[in-house]
Amino acid sequence: MRLSISKTSGTAIYEQIARQIRAAILSGELASGQALPSLRETARRLHVSVLTVSKAYARLAEEGLVRNVQGKGSFVMPRGNRIMRRSAERRIKGLLAQASGLAKDGGIGLLDLLGMLETSYDAAPAPPSGRAES
């Protein structure tokens, strides 16, 4: 798994790391039970703090995607990708509900909102190689 970060993207570095690992899990690039790279190794490779990587791994553990084992590392949870995808869908629906409310409050119509969504989707980072888009 290859991780890359941008220090100028406006997205917190820990969230960039978590997003890429999440995508690798959902795509099957990281299999159930597979160990994530160590905190120190990831921090060294990305030239970031171990605390930043730790925050990303903690976020993934909160989502139920990985399990952090003290002294051993972080491992992809033994769940099917279908369950993890449903979790992602729930999060997306919540965010879309917020965006829809903001759009209505701001007088932005559905077609304009859909245009914004399309622009945002097109600008999002590409999925890891080998992952088919739905």
Please name every residue paired with 68 in a beta bridge, in sequence order, or none if there are none: 74
- Which pair of tokens denotes residue 105? 């409050």
Residues 85, 74 share a domain: no
3-class SS at 49? Answer: coil
Q: What is the pLDDT of residues 77-108, one digit of tens each?
A: 876 556 667 777 888 999 999 999 999 999 99
Same-domain check for residues 60 and 36: yes
Contacts for 120 with CB less than 8 Å, ≥ 6 apart: none
Residues 36 and 61 in one domain: yes
Q: Is 7 in the same domain as 67?
A: yes
Is-contact 75 35, C-beta < 8 A? yes
**pLDDT at site 83:** 65
The secondary structure element, H or E, covering residue 23 is: helix 13-27
Q: Could you list the residue range(s) of the whole structural domain that residue 106 is in?
A: 80-126
Residue 18 has pLDDT above 50, yes or no: yes
Answer yes or no: do 18 and 73 share one domain.
yes
Looking up tokens 């739905």, which residue turns up?
134
Tens-place pLDDT, residues 46-84 = 999 999 999 999 999 988 889 989 999 999 987 655 666
Band of the pLDDT at 125, cuts 50, 70, 90? Answer: confident
Specify whether 20 is located in the same domain as 49. yes
Segment 9-27 mean pLDDT = 92
Quick one: how many helices (H) and strands (E) in the chain? 5, 2
